[in-house]
A and B are shown apart, each in its own frame.
Chain A
Amino acid sequence: EAQVTQNPRYLITVTGKKLTVTCSQNMNHEYMSWYRQDPGLGLRQIYYSMNVEVTDKGDVPEGYKVSRKEKRNFPLILESPSPNQTSLYFCASSLNGANVLTFGAGSRLTVL
């Protein structure tokens, strides 16, 4: 089954404790992206990647890092999480950046 898999689905952590949210797709898609969803703000893009070793900032990249060492994986790294990063995070992929996006189920992160 074609899918985007994110882990963990739920996480509660404390300020400053580094964490990684993994994202993997099995569709051989070139394009992958991370979004955060906050009430009243819709989805905002954090980072995206057009291919292996090619990443670029979205609208809200501060406090986040990404890497794309393999085509299928695109982890989101919070080096020093803060409470304002409490949010619902989605990973998505598509054949290229202009095509239909396939989303993961989401990862709800709470930073205390």
Chain B
Amino acid sequence: GNSVTQMEGPVTLSEEAFLTINCTYTATGYPSLFWYVQYPGEGLQLLLKATKADDKGSNKGFEATYRKETTSFHLEKGSVQVSDSAVYFCALSGTGTYKYIFGTGTRLKVLA
């Protein structure tokens, strides 16, 4: 079945550091891939998405590229801010199914 694996946290960075959160997936067909972010005390919200191979999703300085050859969708940001401290979830929506699969989440803490 489909699955998502993302790096375990927590990840602690200084402000303006470079961020990478790894995400790999297993799926048949051509799933859509997503990154969601959860700020403290809130529900998840979409950060970015990509629906086909080689698509790059981007939002608020975050980017992720859908790599079918490596089955990956790594999240990157060139310069993190304290306000980026949150939990980040990688997710996929499989073709022909109505089931989202979420990774276990990666907590990011950015220090001033």
Decide: A90 and B98 in contact? CB cutoff 8 A.
no
Instruction: Give the segment of A12-20, A69-77, A79-87, A101-109 that binds chain B.
Output: A101-109
Q: How far is the CB of B35 from chain A (nearest CB, A)?
A: 11
| Min CB–CB distance B37 → chain A (angstroms) | 11
B contact residues, total (Cβ < 8 Å):
20
> Which of B45, B46, B98, B102 interacts with A31 by CB under 8 Å?
B98
CB contacts (< 8 Å) of A4 on chain B: these are 43
Are B42 and A101 touching (Cβ within 8 A)? no
Determine whether B97 belongs to the interface, using a CB cutoff of 8 Å to chain A: yes
Assembled-state Cα–Cα distance A56/B99 (Å): 10
Contacting residue for A45 out of B34, B46, B99, CB 8 A: B99
Contact of B89 among A43, A100, A106 (CB under 8 A): A43
The answer to whether A42 touches B93, judged by C-beta atoms less than 8 angstroms apart, is no
Residues of A within 8 A of B46 (CB): 100-101
- Tell me whether A97 and B97 are in contact in the complex, defined as CB-CB below 8 angstroms, given that A40-B104, A42-B102, A43-B89 are known contacts: yes
Encoded as 1 (CB less than 8 Å from any A CB) or 0, chain B from 32 to 58 comes to 101010000011111001000000000
Known: A40-B104, A42-B103, A43-B89. A50 touches B44 (CB 8 A): no
Query: Is chain B's binding surface mostly helix, strand, loop or mixed?
Result: strand
A103's partner among B34, B43, B99 (CB-CB below 8 A) is: B43
Q: Which among A41, A45, A90 is the interface contact of B44 at CB below 8 angstroms?
A: A90
Q: Tell whether, in the assembled complex, residue B34 and residue A100 are in contact, meaning their CB atoms are under 8 Å apart.
A: yes
CB distance from B21 to the nearest CB of A (A): 14
Chain B residues near A104: list those with CB within 8 A. 43
> Is the C-beta of A58 less than 8 angstroms from some C-beta in chain B?
yes
CB distance from A84 to the nearest CB of B (A): 19
A89 to B36, CA, bound (A): 16
Contact assessment for B98 and A48 in the assembled complex, using a CB-CB cutoff below 8 Å: yes
A42-B89, A97-B93, A103-B45 given as contacts; is B104 within 8 A of A50 (CB)?
Answer: no
